[in-house]
Every structure is written in C-alpha cells, then in structure tokens.
Amino acid sequence: MTKPLKPQTQIVKLNKLKQHEEVDPAHLKELKEEIHSDKILKFAIIVDKNTNVILDGQHRFNAIRELGCKRIPVVYVDYNSPAIEVQSWKGNPHLTKKDVIEAGLSGRKFLPKTSKHMVWIGDSLLHISAIEKRVDIPLEKLR
C-alpha cells in the first residue's frame, strides 16, 4: 500500500501552469458556457508540484482563461509519488510520466484525452479526479 496523498487547495496564477494536452473544442465550449452560467468554478485542477504541469483539468484551465480569469484553484501533488499512475485513454501502453512532463515543459502537447491519471486510495485505483476538491469559487475572485 502506498502513502496516501494529502491534497491541499491553493489559488495559483494561470501563467505559472503548463498544459500537456490539447483540448476538445466542443467540450471546452460546453464547459465554458456552464461555468459562465453558474458564475463559479466547482472543482480545483490537479497539478504536479515540481513542474507546474497540469495533470487533470486542461478544459477547466482553458475555460477559466477564456472567461477572463487570471487565477485558478489548484491541488498540487507530487507526480513522482507511486500513488499516482498514468494510463492512456487510447490504449498506448508506452505512455509514461516522463512523457507527460516533457509534453508540458516543451509545449509540444498531446492530443486531447491522451493521458489518464489514476491514484491509489487505500486498495483502490481511482481516477485522479477523486482527490479534486469541490471549491465553488466565484469567477469574480479568480479575475
């Protein structure tokens, strides 16, 4: 059993963060409209604390940016932790954490939904969104 993650949420400037995947324009449009209508961001995104590469939440990041916000709530994790695994939505068995970080740092992004991040919580392997904090932060506080 791996050491449990202790996620903390903090507000971070968008320009500090790095994307490793492109976004799906249709999903981005839908999400942006939902966030604009709700006037709140419901969930924080997941980011590697060592590199500022976004692991989960590329669409939320882009929607918030397009809505004129300068900050976003982030749950920082140590991507080197054995509690976090990377898989591929598209069945690429060779995708590694190193690939994800290189894509984020180089700016050569993967296609949408290339990586799927999973986290061990106890004896269960769950999608990393399981540790995202519900934040319900008004957009005005993120501008």
What are the residue numbers of the active site?
21
Q: What residues contact 20, with CB distance under 8 A and at least 6 apart?
A: 53, 54, 55, 58, 100, 101, 103, 104, 109, 110, 115
Residue with tokens 């799906």: 24
Buried b (16+ CB within 10 A) or exposed e, 17-31: bbbbbebeeeebeeb
Q: Which strand (E) or helix (H) includes residue 30?
A: helix 25-38
**Strand, coil or helix: what is 45?**
strand
